[in-house]
Amino acid sequence: MPSLLVRTADGTERAIALSRRITTVGRGPDNDVALPDAALPETALHIHFDGRDFNAACHAGAEMEVNGRRKSTARLAEGDRIRLGESVLTFTLRDRPAPPGAPALAASTAVRLEAMQGLVRFSERLLAADDLSRLLDELLDAVLEVTHAEKGFIILLEGTRLEVKAARHLSRENIEDAVARVSDSIVQRVVTTRRPVVVADALHDAQWSSSSSVVNLKLCSVMCAPLTNEGKPFGVLYLGNDSVVSLFDEKDLEVLTVFAAQASLLVQHALLLHGLRRENDALRQAVEQSRFGEIIGAGTSMREVFRRIERVAATDVSVLVIGETGTGKELVAREIHRRSPRAQGPFVAVNCGAIPESLLESELFGHVRGAFTGAVATRDGKFQAASGGTLFLDEVGDMPLALQVKLLRALQERAVTKVGDTRPEPVDIRVVAATHQVLEDLIRQERFREDLYYRLNVISIPLPPLRDRGDDVVVMARFFLQRYAREFGSHARGFTPPAVLALRKYAWPGNIRELENRVKKAVVLAERPLVSPEDLDLGPESLARCSPWPRRRRSSRSATSTRCWSGTRGTAPRPRRTWGSTRGPCSGTSRSSRRSGAASSRRPRRRGRTRDRRRPEPFPRAHRSRARRGRARGARRRVRRRLPAAAAAGGGGPDGRRDGRAPAGRHRIGRALRLGRPRLPQLHERRLHPRSGGRGRQHRRGGRGALVRRLQPR
């Protein structure tokens, strides 16, 4: 095999096999023959094999002597000596013995070693490539350099379709119209069999000479190797030569197979990374689309605001943003502009309340030179500056009446006239107005024109105050805390539970602007990682009464709530009755003692717990279940139906008294209902034992006793 015997200035010798079509020599490490000579350029010369002879050509900046004569190009013959700087290169067409002390390497071993070295360089370059297209180009350049192919293609499988992702020449240039230069038959064969294919002479090959793609492209030599992942092909590596002097053989196919195995891993990794980046970009865009700039909120009222912004942004109608001071009206206007087709145009904001009345017209419409004292030059106004974009008129309710007429005309005709000029100038703008005042009241007070109101208020977006936004205040407070802690380098990381409660209870008259100011101050002055109410200046005196639940009525049975009404109005209520006791609320004696008129001297024995003692209700009466309320209503209807019969059974007068005694049980209740009290006390259900006559043992549930209701004063 032809080779070069290289002798450097320090006396070392080495043999370089000329296995490539082009062999480069120079100082750079990327050359095939690297010479340690600082006087040489990066690439001093190259040796090219044209199929018959080897030719040496010197590059600019270098001097080459062939057999003692200075030449720029030379055709090399056996034994020619090339002097390049301080190094001497001897060309030979026969295998020469290696230098003394060096192992003898066969030509095939040298080719394999060169291929492995190229594979190492190829891997280093691919690992440094972070972009998919750049990685594929580096891959093809490395394969063409090792295999001496003239052109190369990387074809990847997109679903069921093969697509050319990269196409390169040996000169490291892209190939135009790459699809038309690839043989479909060979590619389909490799994808189907998953085995590499080498065709030394395609036009004279018995298997491929009849293929239409081979005949049309006039292919000479082709190599194709599959790119696989987990045994499944996802692409091919296609190489071709159009010269009969550089035909591929099985050794070239072995080198290509090794490169294809390494390239499969790197390309698959690059494809996965590329897919993740595209997915990440898509998710980021989706998040940006779902976000509404710096507007933060998740409540019902803010979701309605977001919905209106989405619907309004795509149109070109005028919008009126209504809200208290500090609710973020300008942020809403900016978000409408960002989502509109005018997003690439300017966004110009004008505070109508901050500009003096005498200068507001000039500020909005501009002026010409000499229009008034101090107008030394012609100047455009805000309308001209916002042409092609959005004009935001903040605090439009403070605009004087005289200027409202000109603003109305500008909005109707889409043209403005500068102060001191007579020629109208057309403008292409969208107007978004905002105010914290009630414009309807200003119209009734004749401080705002009604026709201008209808021109601005095509679609209105009301912003809720911060006190009506629920937990949004805590979310925004944490957002401001993180922002300013990062900006000021503070160690504040969160809020204490009392601080969170104070944030919710405070009325926030200044809305979001006041919240941001207090959080910024707390971040600067906080001495602990958790911000306290004192850091926010939210003391107990500044907090409104706030309770997460309605105030619960006392459900434990007090002396008043556990006593029964006596028969006569104004009589003190009697104590409650216990289980197993013979002394009840209707009488202080037992049944036998009442009959004889003597009081019982023996104290009754208690049996278990008191009758009315029960567990307090966890929620007020309004939170009872629907079924329980239904049962209570049904019980009250049944009691009302039985009251007339109970009153008739009581005998006596209309009060239902029995022999002058206090009415007992159901008769007392009937009398109380017949008296027509202005406000009935709260009623509870009670069942009386059927044999007690309203005076014996009382049961809460069970039995078939009469249903009565017990009066409990509120």
> What is the structure's pLDDT at 698?
44
More confident residue, 566 or 200: 200
Q: Looking at the domain that runs over 300-462, which CATH code has it been given? A: 3.40.50.300
Confidence grade of residue 311 (pLDDT, cut at 50, 70, 90): very high
More confident residue, 205 or 587: 205
Residue with tokens 């480069």: 24
pLDDT at 181 > cutoff 50: yes
- Residue 80 to residue 14: CA distance in whole angstroms: 16
N-terminal to C-terminal alpha carbon distance within the chain: 116
Confidence grade of residue 320 (pLDDT, cut at 50, 70, 90): very high
Sequence ranges of the chain with CATH classification 3.40.50.300: 300-462
> What is the structure's pLDDT at 4?
86
Q: Looking at the domain that runs over 112-275, which CATH code has it been given? A: 3.30.450.40
Sequence ranges of the chain with CATH classification 3.30.450.40: 112-275
> What is the structure's pLDDT at 53?
81
More confident residue, 635 or 336: 336
State pLDDT tens for residues 127-159.
666 677 777 887 788 788 777 787 888 888 887
More confident residue, 543 or 82: 82
> What is the structure's pLDDT at 300?
86
> What is the structure's pLDDT at 553?
47
The percent of residues above 70 in pLDDT, for the chain, comes to 68
> What is the structure's pLDDT at 5?
87
> What is the structure's pLDDT at 122?
65
Which pair of structure tokens corresponds to residue 285? 């865009």
> What is the structure's pLDDT at 655?
45
Which segment of 73-82, 178-187, 394-403 scores lowest on mean pLDDT? 178-187
> What is the structure's pLDDT at 686?
45
Q: Please say whether the beta carbons of 421 and 379 come within 8 A.
A: no
Which segment of 21-25, 56-60, 484-488, 586-590 scores lowest on mean pLDDT? 586-590
More confident residue, 75 or 176: 75
Which segment of 95-109, 304-318, 326-340, 486-500 scores lowest on mean pLDDT? 95-109
CB-based contacts of 528, cutoff 8 Å, min separation 6? 492
pLDDT at 611 > cutoff 50: no
Residue 437 CA: distances (Å) to CA of 102, 222, 398, 442, 511: 96, 80, 9, 8, 15
- Which of 215, 227, 111, 214 lies closest to 165 in space, CA to CA? 227
pLDDT at 503 > cutoff 50: yes
Across residues 688-702, what is the average pLDDT? 45
> What is the structure's pLDDT at 481?
94
> What is the structure's pLDDT at 563?
37
Confidence grade of residue 649 (pLDDT, cut at 50, 70, 90): low
Confidence grade of residue 634 (pLDDT, cut at 50, 70, 90): confident
Confidence grade of residue 373 (pLDDT, cut at 50, 70, 90): confident
Which segment of 27-36, 250-259, 517-526 scores lowest on mean pLDDT? 250-259
Q: Looking at the domain that runs over 466-542, which CATH code has it been given? A: 1.10.8.60
Mean per-residue pLDDT over the chain, rounded: 75
- Residue 33 to residue 85: CA distance in whole angstroms: 14
Across residues 170-197, what is the average pLDDT? 78
> What is the structure's pLDDT at 212?
62
Sequence ranges of the chain with CATH classification 1.10.8.60: 466-542
Q: In the 8-state DSSP scheme, what is residue 144?
A: H
Q: Which option is the CATH number for 3-103: 3.65.10.10, 2.60.200.20, 3.30.70.260, 1.10.10.60?
A: 2.60.200.20
- Residue 470 to residue 152: CA distance in whole angstroms: 65
> What is the structure's pLDDT at 605?
53
Confidence grade of residue 94 (pLDDT, cut at 50, 70, 90): low
Across residues 17-35, what is the average pLDDT? 84
Other beta carbons less than 10 A from residue 527's beta carbon: 9
Q: Please say whether the beta carbons of 663 and 656 come within 8 A.
A: yes
pLDDT at 368 > cutoff 70: yes
Across residues 552-564, what is the average pLDDT? 41
Sequence ranges of the chain with CATH classification 2.60.200.20: 3-103
